[in-house]
Every structure is written in structure tokens, then in C-alpha cells.
Chain A
């Protein structure tokens, strides 16, 4: 009797399992074929931090104060202010490097910025052949921001 009950129990489990499988067979998949199709990122998604650009003048909002470098938990931001011809420091970055290989994408640099100069972009596809290519400089970071906000800039939205 025990054996028969085992056989009946296992058989009913298999039937139930197949029922679920067949039910799912006719449903639409929730995945997409990635490189050809893409899903839209929600608003506020955190990709790599990028430098905001004023669309009218083309200047950065950054004043090279270095608060983002101090807020960074892993210390990957390097900021150096521009030096004018008179030897005085200008409020504009000459060097702004971000080593993305060690970035936590934590958003703390954006929150630390008092001048609204940084923003998380939706740029996430960062495969490179060499790790040095993932150390972004000032102009590359501005380019990334422009690319991820192309729609907003074209629409004339105030940024």
C-alpha cells in the first residue's frame, strides 16, 4: 500500500508540474532580446555620474570646490582647479577625473555638490577592452551627460 501511495503521490506531482509548465508555455515572455530590444530606464536611474553642461554657454556648472571628492567613499574623484594667467585659481576645473572601475554608483557625490554640477546619467553600458578606458576625464563626463539628456536638451527644457 505504501508503495502505491508513493507512486500516486509522485505521479500527481508530475502532472501538477506539467500543468504549470504548459500554462507558462502560452504566456508572453517578460524578457526582451537585449542588444536588439531595450527596456526604458525609469526616471532617476543611477548610471555613471556625469558633469552637467549649460546648454546655452556650453560651460560646466562645476567650480572645482572638491566637495564631491571628499564625499566619495572610495576616493576615486580627482579635481584640480584651473589656474589663470595671473597665477590665481579660477572657479573652473582643469582636471576632473573619475575612475569608474572602482565607482560604487552610490549617488553621494551628487548629493554633496552645492552647485548642482553633477547628475547621475543613464549610461550603463561600459564594457571596454582596457581598464584605463574607464577613467573618464572632464570632457568625456560632459559628453556622457549630453548623450543621456539629449531629449531634454532638444526639447528646450530648462535644466
Chain B
């Protein structure tokens, strides 16, 4: 549609009226099936081209941070699962690491290794889920089922070790709740073999080599590195733009510096590259998992924790780790009481979502869904 023609003029007047007659405002979500939960965007359209988009968030707001100020420190662990519910253990990892840093608790080596193993396993699960939904959003339904087949197997593995399938509550301040059951590591090895041998080559052939996928994603939603840095974007979205930044490498925490792995970095920063980054990250995570299993030391999984009600010394504590969605940070201010004085969670999905208007300007409406899905927002984390 050409701007200013008689058709567009009369049509748009119906929608907007007033001064700004050249644009249509379209409401997308929050109950739209392609908006990853409860995202709502008010899109300003000129014909089919996006002029601007306003993100309206908060439909899943549960007031986590304020509620934590009334809770004891060990009670917060199961609640942090609900931030980024696709990789719940990375949230627990970050929270327990912050408290351990404040109290100076030594974590046994076996527990550290197992924590790394579980965080990488969660990364594999989260990225696999991303593939299912991304291809669902751009119009291919079958990958969704193949991905969920693998996801079911990984849920069963997590079920055996922690007793739950989505909200594990497995990490504790000072270590882990229990050691892995007998034969579990062998089953995990089998699962990783299945993933590397069957699933990933199949994904590569079926999904990443698909001509329609290339046509829908290449050159769509290009994010230049300087813009990405200016917005504070992190994770695979930032690395797709060619910026090599991964907290696991740049500021190693836990025992990540003992393992040999690469951080995949892209060049173009478009939707295609963001998808490929996650595919390569699955492979790197499998590499880390294998190294952990080979070198896993024996010993206890729970360290010495001060008895009685846990109180953090007065002060500010900050810790950051790399979650599947990017750099996630936890900031606790303590006034010496049994509850945190102030709790702040830096959620990468929230920060990454801010870059959406920049990516969408000039793109077509159908591309908006692909671009939104490529940012991989999890609304438990965006709205908190």
C-alpha cells in the first residue's frame, strides 16, 4: 500500500482519526499464541511496515523482589525457580552463590562440579525448547514435537535427581540437597549421546538447512554491535552481533575456568545468526557436561553452614552468572537482619526485550513474530 492513496487514507482514518492519519495502531497480545506467554505490543503500522512498537509488560508480575524482603534466606531458594522457569537451576545457582559469597561459605568440590553440570544441562534444555517455539512461530509445527520428545527425556532425568520436573529446588546454600542417584550419570551420558547422535543432526537437516527458514530469517532484524552494547544486551543475542562476551569466560565463577569450551560468536547479528548461536551453544554445553562427568571428584555435596537462623552481615552483595538468556545478576542489600533489606534481580530477558523497537523499525509485520521469538524472552523473568 502506497502512503497517501485514497484507499489507505480512508481506511486509516477509521482506525486512528485525529492528526496522525497515516498510521494504523495494531494491538498484539497478550493472549496471542505467538507472543511467548503474555507479551503485549502496540504496533504502529504504515501499510504492512512497522514504524514503531510499544511493549506493554507486567501481565505476569508477581512482585517477587518485594516479597523476598519478608522471607528468610533459605526460603527464597525455591522461589527463585519462578523467574526464568525454563532454566530454573541457573536462578538457584545465582542466588545461592550470592548468599555464599556474603557468608563466606566454602562449597565442596563435588557440589561445584555438579552445579556446573546441572547449569549446562539446563542450558541444553532451555535452548532446545527455544528451537521448538522459534520454528513454531515461523510456521513449522513438527520441530515442536521432536523437541518435546527430547525435553520429556531430560525432564525424566531431572525428576529422578530432584523429585520435580520444572521447579527443582535442588541447590542449597552451601551445596546440594542430595547427591545424584546411582546410575544417573550413565543415563545422562546416554541422553547426551542420543542428543549428539540422533537429535542434533536431525535438527540441522530438518530445521537449520530449511530453505523457508533461511528466507524468513536472513537479514531480518539486524542488531549492530554498538547498539547491542548501548542497550546492555547480553547472552546469545549479543554474541550473534559479534561481541565476544560471556561471563563464564570473561569473569569465571564456580569452576568454569577448569573446563575447555568455546564461546560461539556470530558476525551479522540477524535473526538467523541468533538461532545458530543457540544451536552451537548446545554443542558446547554437551562438551562441558562430558568434561564434568569425566573429572567428577568424590566427596560430600554439602558444606558447613552456620547453625541457627541465617543472617547476612551488613553490606551490599552482587553476583552475576551467564544464564541461557544472558547475564543475570543478583543484588542483595542486607542490614544484618534475617531478611534481605533490598533484593534486585537483573533479568537478561527484560534487558534484551528493550532492543525490540530498534530491530522492528522498517520490518514487516510478519517478521515481528520471528524477531520477538529470536530474542527468546521468558515472561516469568521479564515481569518478575
On A, residues with C-beta under 8 Å from B are: 6, 9-10, 12-13, 16-17, 20-21, 24, 30, 41-46, 71-73, 104-108, 111, 120
Contacts and interface: CB of A to CB of B under 8 A. Distances in A.
B202 interface: yes
Interface residues of B, number: 27
Smallest CB-CB A-B distances: 7 pairs = A106-B78, A73-B75, A46-B163, A9-B211, A42-B160, A10-B211, A13-B210
Contacts of B79: 73, 104
Interface string B162-194: 011001010000000100010000000000000
Contacts of A42: 156, 159-160
Contacts of B354: none
A13 B78 contact: no
12 contacts: A10-B211, A13-B212, A16-B205, A20-B142, A20-B205, A24-B146, A30-B149, A42-B159, A43-B160, A73-B76, A107-B169, A111-B177
A104 B78 contact: yes
Interface in B192-236: 202, 205-206, 209-212
Contacts of B3: none
Given A24-B146, A73-B75, A107-B169, 7 more contacts: A6-B211, A16-B209, A16-B210, A20-B146, A20-B206, A45-B163, A73-B76
B262 interface: no
Contact of B210 (A17, A41, A46, A108): A17
Contacts of A6: 211
Contacts of B163: 44-46, 107, 120
Nearest to B68: A73
A107 B205 contact: no
B75 A108 contact: yes
